[in-house]
Structure 1
C-alpha cells in the first residue's frame, strides 16, 4: 500500500481505529478519538475503501458504462428530463411525438436517430382527460396505444381511496407494474406530496433523488412536465417555475415557447449532462380528426441553433403587416388603372 494513498485518515478526517492483519490490510474499523496519531504511531495508511462495491468505491474498480439515450438524446434511461413551457404551448403534442418514437422504434423528423430501445410509456396525467384528449392525441401522433398506459387522479382515487402522490409506495408499485421505458409526470406539481413545497429546495431534492433511484432501479427515463413562470423578459433558467433544484437535478432541460414571428413553436435543449445539447426543434400544430374526434398534432418544421434566450429577445416584426398592406394597396391601384400603369409621373414618384 502506497504511503501517499489519497484515501487516508488525514484526507477523510474519519474517527477510525484499525486492527491490522498480518498482510498489513486494515480491518474492523471503529470510532476512536485520535485516528491520525494512531496511524502515525503504527506507520500505517488507513485505507477505508471497499474493493467490492461498498459505500466508498475506487474509480479504478468501476467499469464505465454508457447511459442509454432516448429520443435522439433528449432523454436518458435512468435519468430525469425537465420539460417546461407556458400553458397551451404544445407540450402535450411534443410528448406524443416522444411516445411515437419510443413505442414504435421508428425514426422521425422530430427524432431522426433510431431509438436504442423501445418500450412502454406510463403517464401520470394531472390535467388532460384520458378519453377526450390523451387517447386521440397519442393516436394522431402515431404512437402504439397498446404501449401507453395512463394513471389519472380520479380513477386512482376510486381504486385506492387516496390521491396519487409521488413517493407513495403504492403509486410507485403501480408505475413499476407498467414496466415503463418512460414515465411522464404531467404536470409535476399535480403529484407532489402534501409535505413537499415546490419552492423548497431541500424537499424537492429529496423527492427527485427518490424518483431517480426508482428510475435507475427499474431502468426507465422520467420526463417532468412543468409550467414556466410569468416573469416578463426572463429566459433560460430564470423561466423555471419552482425550486432551482429541478434544473440542477435534471440531466436534460427542455424549454418550449412561441416564436414571436410566425406561428412556430420551439423546443430548446437548454441543458444536457451527457452530450452536447441537440438543435432546437421548430414545429407547428395542425388539427386532425382521429376516429371522429378532433385533436391537435405537432407538424415538424425545421431545426435551429437558436436557444430560448434568442427567441425571448427576438423583436417582433411589426412592419411586416404594414408592408403587406401597402403592397396590396398598390396592386389594387394598378389593377384599377388603365392598362395597369401609373396614371401620372407624380403618382409613380410618390409610390
Structure 2
C-alpha cells in the first residue's frame, strides 16, 4: 500500500470515528406556561368610588352582658319579640288584641292582675274598619285613644297613597315612631298581610317576617300578629293548626291560641292559652267571654271579660270531644257555629242587623248560614226608630225599655208555652201605636222578600 492509499484510509477512519463520537444536543424541556401578570406599574389603582366588599360582622360571646327578657306582660308579651295569636273564626282574636292595646295605652292591669307600664300602640289592620269597628272596641275596653294609632297606608313623595309594606316602608315607620316618642305594642291583623309572596312557603314567609322582627328589636316593642286556624288537626298541637307555613310559629317567640271548648259540665267556655314559648312557660291560660256593650252614642262594640286562670297545656285545654263529629258533617258544623255565634252575640241584648252582619263577616261566617241559624233559634227581628234589631226571644223585651213605664195592657190568660210570644205581641202593638215599632222583618233588605214560613215573617 503506498503512502497515498494510507492517507485515504486514515481520513476515512477519522470520519468514522468522528461520526461515532457525535452526540446530538439534548433539548431542555420547557416548563408549562404559567399565569401572566402585568407589570406592577401597569395595574389599575383602587378607586375611592368603588364600593368595599361586604364584611361579615362578629361579636365575641365574652364581650356580651347577659340581660333578662323585657316583658310587657310577663310570660305572654315580650318587648323586641314577635308573637302569634291564632284561633278559629269567631273566637274574638281581634277583640283580645284590642284589649291588650287598651291595657298598654291606659297602663291597666293584665288578666293575672299585674300592672302594665303606659305606652303607645300601633294597629295595622287589613280586615276591620277603624272607625266603625276597632275604635268602638278600644273605647269599650277602656283604652286611652290618644295613645292608639292606626296605620292606614304610606304616602309617597308624589302624594300617592299606597298600602303599607314593612319590608319597603320601614324608614317611614321609623320616622313616625320617633315623632310619637316610641311604641310599646304593634298589632298586625292579619299577619299574613305582611307576606307578599306565598304564605305557604317557608323561605318566603321567613323573609317577609324578618322586617317585623327587626322592627320589634329596633323599636323595643312587642308585635302581635293575628292569624287563623286551618281546618282539621283537632286534638293535636294547636301551633300546628296555624294556617300557612310553619315559619309563622317558628319565627314567633310566643304563640297564643284562642278557642271555645266544652267545660266539664258541658257548658261552653272560651280559653286563651299559650301553645308555644321559646322564652318562658309554654302552658297555662285564662278563661274569657265576649261581651257586647252600647256606648253613649248608641254604637255597639264587643269587649273581653277575663275569667279565672287555667292550668294545662294548650292541647289539653282546647281539646273538644265534639270537634271530630263536626269534621264528619261540615254543613251541620257551620250551622252550629253560626248558632253559637248568635247566642253569644245576642246574650247581652238586642243588636242592630248591620252590627250582626259585620261581626258575622269578621267571624268568617256566611250570612246565609247566619240567617238559617236565626230561624232555628227563632231570633226576633224588629225595627225601632228606623233601625232593624236582632234579639233572642227571651230577651226581646229589652228593646222596649223606652215604654216600660207605660201600661201595656192586659195580655190575658194564655198558655204557658205561648206566654212569651203573647207578651212580645202586646209590646209590639203598643209600640206600633206610638209609631216607634215598624213592621216585623229580618232586615231592611229582607223585608222586601216574601215570607215562606212563619219564622221568616220575623
- Give the TM-score normalised by the residue count of structure 1: 0.68
Q: After superposition, give the CA deviation of every residue in 1:142-192 in whole Å (9 maximum; x if it has no partner).
A: 111111101235x97996432222311266346635532111000112343
Is contact 2:272-2:286 (8 Å) kept?
yes
Is contact 1:271-1:277 (8 Å) kept?
yes
- The structure whose Rg is larger is 2
Is contact 1:71-1:102 (8 Å) kept?
no
The residue matched to 1:204 in structure 2 has which SS?
A: helix
Change (3 A) 1:316 1:204: closer
Match of 1:188 in 2: 191
**By how many angstroms is 1:232 displaced?**
4.5
Q: How does 1:209-228 map to 2 (within 5 A)?
A: 209-228=210-229
Rounded Cα–Cα distance in structure 1 between residues aligned with 2:58 and 2:155: 41
The residue matched to 1:246 in structure 2 has which SS?
A: helix
Match of 2:167 in 1: 167
Match of 1:65 in 2: 67
- Between 219-228 and 144-153, report the one with greater CA deviation: 144-153
Rounded Cα–Cα distance in structure 1 between residues aligned with 2:134 and 2:159: 21
Match of 1:266 among 262, 271, 276: 271
Q: How does 1:1-351 map to 2 (within 5 A)?
A: 55-108=57-110, 110-115=111-116, 117-152=117-152, 160-169=160-169, 172-173=173-174, 176=177, 177-178=179-180, 179-193=182-196, 196-233=197-234, 234-261=236-263, 262-277=267-282, 279-291=284-296, 292-316=298-322
Q: After superposition, give the CA deviation of every residue in 1:219-253 in whole Å (9 maximum; x if it has no partner).
A: 11111111111124244222111111111111111
Change (3 A) 1:156 1:124: farther
The residue matched to 2:262 in structure 1 has which SS?
A: coil
Rounded Cα–Cα distance in structure 2 between residues aligned with 1:243 and 1:132: 32
- Between 57-66 and 272-281, report the one with greater CA deviation: 272-281
Is contact 1:72-1:111 (8 Å) kept?
no
Rounded Cα–Cα distance in structure 1 between residues aligned with 2:89 and 2:159: 30
**By how many angstroms is 1:68 displaced?**
0.9
Let me know the Cα RMSD of the aligned residues: 2.6
The residue matched to 1:264 in structure 2 has which SS?
A: strand
- Between 223-232 and 156-165, report the one with greater CA deviation: 156-165
Q: Which has the higher contact order (CA 8 A, sep 6+)?
A: 1
Is contact 2:189-2:225 (8 Å) kept?
yes
The residue matched to 2:268 in structure 1 has which SS?
A: coil
The residue matched to 1:64 in structure 2 has which SS?
A: coil
Decide which structure has greater strand share: 1
**Structure 1: 4+ residue segments shifted above 6 A:** 155-159
Rounded Cα–Cα distance in structure 2 between residues aligned with 1:259 and 1:159: 49
The residue matched to 1:135 in structure 2 has which SS?
A: helix
**By how many angstroms is 1:316 displaced?**
4.8
Is contact 1:101-1:111 (8 Å) kept?
no
Match of 2:43 in 1: none
The residue matched to 1:225 in structure 2 has which SS?
A: strand
Is contact 2:195-2:205 (8 Å) kept?
no
Match of 2:382 in 1: none
Rounded Cα–Cα distance in structure 1 between residues aligned with 2:210 and 2:201: 14
**By how many angstroms is 1:287 displaced?**
1.2
**By how many angstroms is 1:211 displaced?**
1.6
Rounded Cα–Cα distance in structure 2 between residues aligned with 1:174 and 1:125: 20
Rounded Cα–Cα distance in structure 2 between residues aligned with 1:99 and 1:274: 22
Change (3 A) 1:156 1:224: farther
Is contact 2:102-2:144 (8 Å) kept?
yes
Q: What residue ranges of structure 1 are gaps of 5+ in the alignment? A: 1-53, 319-351
Aligned length: 261
